[in-house]
Structure 1
Amino acid sequence: MPTKSVDRTIDVREIDGPPFDDIMSAVGSLEDGERLELLAPFEPEPLYEVLDSRGYTHESDRQDEDLWRVLIEPA
């Protein structure tokens, strides 16, 4: 995984209810060159198509059995 810095982190395990709106709000506030670290208990595959369609790139990495780390940045 690249060693670029992370500017913000959102841990969806701490969100009560569906996290999609929280994630998209955080993603939408990214400036060019900034990266968001998303921590989730599963691989958020449905999110990838949304990110791609809105001009963001993502890199996923399974950290543990129930922890995925996804780095998101503007394309």
Structure 2
Amino acid sequence: MKKLDLRALPAPEPLMQALAAADALQPGQALEVLTPLLPAPLLEALEARGLHWRSEPCADHGTWVAILRPAA
């Protein structure tokens, strides 16, 4: 599973890079993203694209988001 740590990037880069990586997922593939804040706009965009996601706060700051493109 690919991992992206986007916590050090200024806005809107975490959103843009996470969406680009999510859009590149093939059916059944998943991605882990670390963002500096709870990424509400990202989560809304993922839902609009039909992608599944789960998020949890990171112990060392930020938010962990798992993104899955469902199998066809």
TM-score range, shorter chain: 0.7 to 0.9
Query: Pairwise mapping of residues 1-75 of structure 1 onto structure 2 (< 5 A)?
Result: 7-19=1-13, 20-64=15-59, 66-75=61-70
Q: Unmatched 5+ residue regions in structure 1? A: 1-6
Instruction: Output the CA distance in 1 between the equivalents of 2:11 and 2:38.
Output: 17
Whether the aligned pair in 1 keeps the contact of 2:8 and 2:36 (CA below 8 Å) is: no
Instruction: Output the CA distance in 1 between the equivalents of 2:54 and 2:11.
Output: 24
1:15 positional shift: 3.1
RMSD: 1.7
Percent sequence identity is 29
Tell me which amino acid in the other structure corresponds to 1:23. A
Number of residue pairs matched by the alignment? 69
- When residues 28 and 43 of structure 1 are mapped into structure 2, their CA distance, relative to the original with a 3 A threshold, is same
Instruction: Output the CA distance in 1 between the equivalents of 2:26 and 2:50.
Output: 12
1:22 positional shift: 1.3
Higher strand share: 1
